């Protein structure tokens, strides 16, 4: 992995749950155009940043596939912004029929680090064609990598996670998955950890708890270092995330939501 700010690590953490090789049934579709989710990032008692996860209201034609344009936009805030200045945008064009990404993009500003990237997926020839501009001078490079037919990228994975039917899984079930990121295919394992009740700023909600089985790395502390809770309803939106990272415990909470495809219910208890 290359350089990441805290918000980028959280995006990566979210996506680490999500890569499975089979397309979901259309009936399970939990999101649609105009959905917008805003999250607040806490590092200890400090409000460290915000992230917005959204679906563009316009549909796009990529590789002759009708696609949602989905995005994760993150920035550090307040005093945390002085120590680690982050302005990141991650975009994925996702086939509305299969939930498989057709193109992905990154625009990364993290202190002095700068990256612009476009990945064009060519599933016919099993290639990911990548254009990158990096460094202060945004030096341009191109490359092609071998990929499999069905995969996910960072952002599409976060949406794909929401299409899985957890009611058919036993607690402790592991799911094997593949994803393309930066320059290679990765294998991930995700564990379904059962049902839970989660307290949020909007109230208490029934939730689905999931955890990636993390490999040894310098970013996260231990194999069960990330916990994520999805609303246990037709939306399956992330309502809470916890990550034990090298900088300490990071928490992500749902600040606001709009344009949900299905009703969502929070209670007082």
pLDDT digits (tens, 9 = 90+) for 162-195: 888 999 899 999 877 778 888 888 877 778 999 9
Closest CA to 237 of 8, 59, 14, 19: 14
23 confidence band (pLDDT: 50, 70, 90):
very low
- Residue 240 tokens read as 């809470």
Model pLDDT, residue 18 = 38
Q: Is the pLDDT confidence value at 24 over 50? A: no
Q: What angle do CA 241, 36, 187 make, to 5 degrees?
A: 50
Domain ranges of the chain: 6-57+70-92+154-258
Classify domain 6-57+70-92+154-258 by CATH number.
2.40.360
DSSP string, 112-128: TEEEEEEEEEETTTTEE
Model pLDDT, residue 215 = 59
């Amino acid at each position: 992995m290359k350089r990441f700010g805290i918000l980028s690590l959280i995006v990566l953490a979210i996506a680490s749950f999500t890569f499975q090789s089979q397309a979901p049934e259309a009936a399970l579709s939990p999101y649609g155009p105009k959905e917008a989710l805003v999250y607040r990032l806490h590092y200890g008692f400090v409000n460290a940043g915000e992230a917005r996860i959204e679906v563009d209201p316009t549909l796009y034609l990529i590789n002759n596939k009708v696609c949602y344009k989905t995005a994760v936009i993150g920035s550090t805030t307040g005093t945390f912004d002085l120590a680690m200045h982050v302005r990141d945008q991650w975009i994925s064009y996702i086939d509305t029929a299969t939930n498989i990404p057709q193109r992905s993009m990154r625009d990364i500003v993290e202190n002095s680090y700068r990256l612009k990237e476009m990945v064009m997926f060519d599933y016919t020839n099993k290639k990911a064609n990548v254009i990158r501009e990096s460094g202060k001078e945004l030096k341009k490079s191109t490359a092609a990598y071998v990929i499999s037919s069905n995969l996910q990228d960072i952002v599409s994975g976060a949406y794909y996670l929401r299409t899985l039917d957890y009611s058919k899984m036993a607690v402790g079930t592991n799911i094997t998955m593949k994803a393309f990121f930066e320059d290679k295919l990765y294998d991930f394992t995700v564990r379904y950890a059962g049902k839970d009740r989660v307290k949020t700023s909007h109230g208490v909600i029934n939730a689905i708890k999931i955890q990636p089985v993390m490999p040894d790395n310098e970013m996260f502390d231990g194999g069960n270092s990330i916990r994520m809770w999805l609303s246990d309803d037709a939306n399956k939106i992330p309502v809470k995330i916890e990550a034990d990272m090298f900088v300490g415990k990071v928490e992500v909470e749902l600040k606001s939501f709009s344009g949900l495809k299905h009703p969502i219910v929070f209670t007082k208890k």
